[in-house]
Amino acid sequence: MKYGSFKVTRAAIYAGWITLFFCIPCQSGAQSPFKNFANLFTEPKSYTVNYTHTAPIIDGDINDAVWQQAAWTDDFRDIEGDLKPNPPLRTRAKMLWDDSCLYIDAEISDPNVWGTLTHHDDIVFHDNDFEVFVDPNNTTHQYFELEFNALNTVFDLFLNKPYRNGGNAMINWNAEGLRSAVKVQGTLNNPSDKDKGWTIEIAIPFRAISIGNNVQTPVDGTLWRINFSRVEWDTKTENGKYVKLKDGAAHNLPEHNWVWSPQGVINMHYPERWGYLAFNKDVTVKKTFALPYAEEQKRYLWLVYYQEERWKNEHDGYEESFEKLGLNSAITINGHVNKLKIEATKHQFMALTTDESDNITWSINQEGLVSRLK
């Protein structure tokens, strides 16, 4: 099946899920303003990525001494978080950076390692895979997706905005200078034995995930959004090969989606749900991540966004009345008073939050684009 037609189908599934999600309120924390969307407001995971003066050798071996200075992420969980049981197989990752690249390694436990796709930009998630999603600007727009299978086949793409907002995947975009390597702890495509799993190392050049001519090289304190996903298919052995399990209508059973930072919805293309990646230059100082104040402000903008999407689904248009949306126009965040404002027409809206003490305004629109206004 060609990618385009498949992606439309997958996007349609996501759209159906969004409609269902917005029609069923979540019951959690009656006093919380986020109670109707509780699964979309769990705090994302965070990771402090340390600077390295020695770049790891990209050969798939994650036991190099350089990786000992990096901590493991938490084990991956189901994409829906607490709504589903924890995965039966372990997945975890590490990260480092230097002046040219973000380095990632991952350990993927799997007793049955297999892969079939061998061409660049094959739809790699048709195999079991490991995926990286990165938004260097933390706007939910202009972000990057990289997918790898156990054969080290790469599927890289750029999205101008999420599919839910009419985004289009630019598949002919290539992450120039990307390097990756895989090592299998066992035997690939051999159902007659049990494997331990596979490991992968990735070097992502900052210039490859920069827009325009200015390379977005992080500095100490830079904050990105990132998430990882593992796609795992249920299989059986047939004629000496792994084949996917099917339902009664001969369709493949749905894949499992295991992620580092739970999305709260079966959709990786909610970039606001990705984890926080904080860059640390001084590795002699152990830093504890604290959610920045601006990110606390943006949570309320996302509350407006989800409520507006629900309203549009029910009333065929956007709304600017806080009372009708069930929201408050004045909020207090960490002792700071913020004023919310909504400007809306039938087809578009903009929500703004302004801190009354520093007069800084953040905005979000109907496409989920987050911006700081001067």
Q: What confidence tens digit (pLDDT) does each residue in 259-295 have?
A: 999 999 999 999 999 999 999 999 888 889 999 999 9
Q: pTM (2 decimals)? A: 0.92
The string of pLDDT tens digits covering residues 46-92 is 999 999 999 999 999 999 999 999 999 999 999 999 999 999 999 99
The string of pLDDT tens digits covering residues 317-367 is 999 999 999 999 999 999 999 999 999 999 999 999 999 999 999 999 999
| Exposure class string for 18-52: b at 16+ Cβ within 10 A, else e | beebbeeebeeeeeebbebbbbbbbebbbbbbbbb
CB 77 within 8 A of CB 83: no
Given phi > 0 = left and psi -120 to 50 = alpha, else beta, which region is 235? beta
